[in-house]
Amino acid sequence: MKLTLTQFLTLDGVIQAPGGPDEDRDGGFEHGGWSVPYGDDDFGAFMEENFDRVDAFLLGRATYDIFAGYWPRMTDPTDPIASRLNSLPKYVASTTLTDPAWQGTRVIGRDDLVKDVTALKEQPGRELQMHGSAGLARSLMAHDLIDTLHLMTFPVVIGTGKRLFTEGALPTAFRHTRSRTTSTGVVISTYEREGRPEYGSY
């Protein structure tokens, strides 16, 4: 399976707590819910297309807890997102979670995260999808394990907060394959990992 990451981020690269004020207040973050005013039909159409390609999910512990607290209550079998999250395999990377209540969940990464994720990618299927889970994403990008990035850039600057790309990130080149802009100005760009950057001089 191809490992893909869908990530919301601000113009200044913040990814923390896009979905609500109490989603992640770590570090005294007070801007939670910054993505909500930009939701529209274009945004929803992209998310439905994305979920239509998934065969399994890989989530970090914090994102898993947020999802597990909401999506199991969404029981409409025709919902293109809830139906897949509730029925498809979910893998959560955690060293502390022992008894996940959400049906179809398996804990990985207790001993060797890279080995476990590599084994998941070797399974047959289309996409192993990550949503959010920035801490896990940073760890996996350091080992060239994420194949595709869907970066949803919102037209807002926050000024503080956690970021996906931090000091010391593995130098990596990507190939831009698609972009679209929603009616509210969210730029959705897709990138495929290409390898190491090349350098030159002007």
The helix-helix angle for 134-141 and 113-121 (nearest 10°) equals: 90
The domain segmentation of the chain, as residue ranges, is 2-195
pLDDT for the residue numbered 188: 98
Here the tokens at position 104 are 């179809």
Q: Tell me the residue type at 164.
A: L
Closest C-alpha among 53, 65, 56 to residue 22: 65
User: What residue ranges of the chain have pLDDT lower than 50?
Assistant: none
pLDDT for the residue numbered 186: 98
Taking only the tens place, the pLDDT of each residue in 117-172 is 999 999 999 999 999 999 999 999 999 999 999 999 999 999 999 999 999 999 99
pLDDT for the residue numbered 79: 95
pLDDT for the residue numbered 88: 97
pLDDT for the residue numbered 41: 97
pLDDT for the residue numbered 25: 95
CB 95 within 8 A of CB 108: no
pLDDT for the residue numbered 182: 98
> What number does CATH give the domain 2-195?
3.40.430.10
Helix ranges restricted to H, the chain: 41-51, 61-68, 82-87, 113-121, 134-141
Q: Is 184 helix (H, G, I), strand (E, B) or coil?
A: coil
